[in-house]
Structure 1
Amino acid sequence: MDLESDRKVIADLYRRLRKEPELEPASLGAQAGLDPAQYEEARDLLVAIGLVANSPDSADQLTVTSTERALNDLATRAEQAASRWAHEAVWLRKAIRLLATELADQYQQQASLAPVEVIVGLDRISAILEDCTDLARDEILSMHPGPVVESRSKARLERNQRVVDRGVGMRTIHLASTARMPHGLALLEDMQAGGVRVRLAPTIPFRLIVIDDVMALTPTFDPEHSQPSALVTRGPVITRLLRRVFEHCWQSAVELGADTPPRREPAESPLSRQQSGILRLMNAGLKDEAIARELGVSIRTLRRLIYDLMEKLGADNRFQAGVRAGQLGWLN
């Protein structure tokens, strides 16, 4: 029997109990049109919600309770349950903090076990970056020598905000040219408004992310793979050295929005003649073998050059590299 669907039957039984509490259960059930099993189920529901109670004198007799008292008893039970839930929530919060601290300690310990690892593939690199930023305790440092990838801006801002909201400091250095592009300036200003310290520099040596002096990510080129790859460095020895590189660049960079404008980059393309040639040949639709023959280099060398070129342009693929180079006027 369901309390909602059979409430009329249960209410009728309750009214009969109030009117004739001395009647035997069989008589009460019969008057309400219930067989013995249905009567027992309805009676148990009335007991559960506090409208009747089993008589201490006889197992077959019931004591009727007023609706006011039943409501008060239900409210008291709800308050007691809420109090238990509140205590459990406090306990769970403490347990979660303990587990999070233990996990962070394990992360710190593991960071010194495997000093260097090459991660291949954009998805794996992104996953490593997500895990590391979620476990960061003190500060995350980053340098970005390429243009901003507009399609990734929203995800980057959301990830940064999660880090800053946990009280972890963030400092980043971008090319001064990034602030001269509308979408680049918008991203940098949003990052700064969210609590990230942003500086601009005319040149940046390489892409770098340093996390808590225990882990660093830098791009690398694996000739065995055409996909992007990153060198993950763990442990304080090498990571602190990379941090010193960041601090050197930070000191010579200019705060975003500072009165002193950043030094302007040369108007001409920063690409070498060889890199410009590769771009033009790729845009002409030539395959790698033909481009390599044209330049007089091996396929392996060409792919390394193309990867370096994509890194400089901040592009994920060759088509995107051509588009970016055209937007920047580097194909002229």
Structure 2
Amino acid sequence: MLDLFGIDEVTLAAYRLWLCHEVLSVPEVAEMLGEPLVAAGRARDRLVELGLLLPSRERAGHYVAVHPEAGLDHLLQAQHEQLIRRHERLLLARAQISSFVSDYLESRPGGDTAEVRRIDSADQARAELLAIVGRAEREVLALHTRREWSSTLTREVMPVELRALRRGVVMRSVLPRSVRLDELGAGYVRTVAAHGLDARMIDDPRLDATAVDGRIGLVRLGRGFATGQTLLVRTPELTALLLTLFEQVWEAAEPLSGEAMAAPGDGDDAPNDTERLLLRLLSLGMKDEAAARHLGVSVRTVRRMIADLMARLNARSRFQAGSLAAQRGWF
């Protein structure tokens, strides 16, 4: 937990040694820890900076640990004050978002309460889809059964769907069979299914709709988002009809098999879908911290996953791991 103060494992171990011994030098700590002298030096510098270590006045080059309670109390207080300031900023941000929402709703024809609203803009239709899925509380049901199902839209909606699944939202989708032949689409299905998506397949050129929480639906007419119109439906009668249609198509659709969506190069040591997504993110130059936020895990977990992948690939560096993973078709 002390990583909250920027204290890593080596620094923490060094501090424990200084606590247990009346006075120690940096070389002595390095020897006792089995760490390089430079690592022990960095630990000493950090502890001095935090006020947890003081130079000895009696023995030059040696240091004395400050009592933990006295040394850490002011750090806790500083963190507490930062949390208060952060909370205040979050409240201000929420108020600002509320004003943005008001401005957005006022600019829309019919407002946000219209029972049926026609959307002519493809960009606005995509934005509406991301918005209703992002606000989902219980369930998202999606019919995307046209063969021209958009891989571009997949890239946009996947992060929103992953966040919804992490919140506990139930998500079922019916997709076109052609998704198995599209590398990006198949990767999307594997990734989201690994996080809880229940998917089936069927081909039907008429169906392209999404229902959220049984109370709002987005029905796309014509040829999907690229052309045609979209209807945003809020009436209970029409939403219930959309739910009935979904269940009928769901019963007729083909359950998704693991073999059908298996990626090239799968084997006993092949990565799972989360690891594949991590490899793809790293190949795009994403830092560990950003990848952790994208996956919804800690930075430590991301680094542990990377270390495990490197071991399975017998790679000595991340660059070599990326090259070997690409050769195996892991992403």
Task: Tell me the TM-score normalized by structure 1.
Answer: 0.45
Greater gyration radius: 1
Structure with higher RCO (Cα < 8 A, 6+ apart): 1
